[in-house]
Amino acid sequence: MSDLVRVGFVGCGLIARSHARGLQACGEATIVAVHDTDPERAHSFALDVVGTASVVVADAETVIETSEAVYVCTWTAAHADLVAAVAAAGKPVFCEKPLAIDLATAEAMTRAVESAGVVNQVGLVLRNSPSFRWLRHQVRSPELGPLMNIVFRDDQYLPTQGMYGSTWRGDVAKAGAGTLLEHSIHDLDLLGWMMGPIRSVSGRIGMVHGLDGIDDQASVLLVSESGAQATLTSVWHEVLSRPSQRRVEAFCRDAVLTLDGDWAGPVSIESSMGTDELEGSVLARAMATLDGLGVNPDAAFITAVRSSIPAYPDFRVAIEAHRLADAAYRSAATGGQPVDL
């Protein structure tokens, strides 16, 4: 195609590569400028992903000038200034999650993109997961009776090592906090998405690794407007054979649902009608036409940019997850007192 959307990247690490693959798969964008404060990162990203180092530029400002749409894929503390610069230039922005290291900054970023009127999307990519789309569809289905309870477990090895290799995740100034904000903001987003408005949050956190301000375990109790309850357990351990793993059990009045594997299942449903299990391509096909979300968040972003329509999930969606994380940390600071929302 001759009218490919000209995309730039600020931050050229792990997640930037994932988005570059998504853009390549959609075939409607071309990467024209990339910058990283670590020049080696920028060069290896450019060579591996674009095939030429000529797209490496000296600073974020040049990325913004050169591109029609910008991905902000730096560590979390650097998101806010970069998003503000992209919004000030009137250009669409895809920003990674968490938006910011605290709720107030995330809210300011949301105001910035909304008042600039720019297309904005956040990297809460599990909203595109066939597994979670299936689970959400089931727990909201009237045939299964009201949703009663969700048990959500998310564990992985401390991501300062292994394929992440990111020392910044152990630095509170750059990451803001640990497992609950940096990783399980996905889980809080998914729980709010499945359960509807959350009205009460209580939480406890722990720091076994001794990294200042970096929680490596969190237990959160959420109560929704409808009275449904959920518990989230989020852990960063030292078992290097276990990268990110999610297991969810959801109890409706008339069915029990399980999710093992946060993208392609297996997922299962058990009711008095019997038991069914789906995974892989069968699950993907079952979800393909369900809600129009698709499995490629980058394709969705490019479609929104091309058509100047709102992207999804946008910063406003992410604010809800930030509110839950903020409430959980505030509760933990009081020893677990519930915080009403």
Ligand X SMILES: NC(=O)c1ccc[n+]([C@@H]2O[C@H](COP(=O)([O-])OP(=O)(O)OC[C@H]3O[C@@H](n4cnc5c(N)ncnc54)[C@H](O)[C@@H]3O)[C@@H](O)[C@H]2O)c1
The yes or no reply on residue 57 touching ligand X (CB under 6 A) is no
Nearer to ligand X, 70 or 205 (CB): 70
Here the tokens at position 20 are 């570059």
Identify the H or E element spanning 72. strand 69-72
* Site pattern 94..113 for ligand X (x: CB under 6 A): --xx----------------
Helix axes 103-116, 79-88, angle to 10 degrees: 10
- Please identify, among the stretches 29-37, 101-109, 235-243, 261-269, the one whose residues bind ligand X according to the rule CB under 6 A: 29-37
Inter-residue long-range contacts of 83-87, CB under 8 Å, 24+ positions, other chains counted: 83/109, 83/112, 83/113, 84/109, 84/112, 85/60, 85/61, 86/118, 87/112, 87/113, 87/115, 87/116, 87/118, 87/120
The yes or no reply on residue 326 touching ligand X (CB under 6 A) is no
The single residue among 67, 76, 128, 331 that binds ligand X, judged by CB under 6 A, is 76
Q: How far is the CB of 124 from ligand X (least distance, A)?
A: 7
Beta carbons within 8 Å of 338's beta carbon, 6+ residues apart: 200, 201, 202, 221, 331
- Please identify, among the stretches 31-39, 147-155, 248-256, 311-319, the one whose residues bind ligand X according to the rule CB under 6 A: 31-39
The single residue among 36, 154, 187, 215 that binds ligand X, judged by CB under 6 A, is 36
Q: How far is the CB of 241 from ligand X (least distance, A)?
A: 19
The yes or no reply on residue 67 touching ligand X (CB under 6 A) is no
* Site pattern 245..274 for ligand X (x: CB under 6 A): ------------------------------
Q: Which residues in 162-201 are b (16+ Cβ under 10 Å) and which e?
A: eebebebbbbbebbbbbbbbbbbbbbbbbbbbbbeebebb
Here the tokens at position 90 are 């009137």
Nearer to ligand X, 38 or 225 (CB): 38
From the number of C-beta atoms within 10 Å of its C-beta (0-12, 13-18, 19+), residue 121 rates as: buried
Pick the closest to residue 328 from 196, 201, 197, 234 (CA basis). 201
Nearer to ligand X, 15 or 207 (CB): 15
Nearer to ligand X, 133 or 147 (CB): 133
The single residue among 182, 189, 215, 262 that binds ligand X, judged by CB under 6 A, is 182
Residues in region 147-166 near ligand X by CB under 6 A? 164, 166
Interface residue list for ligand X (CB under 6 A): 10-16, 35-38, 41, 60, 73-76, 78, 96-97, 123, 125, 164, 166, 168, 182
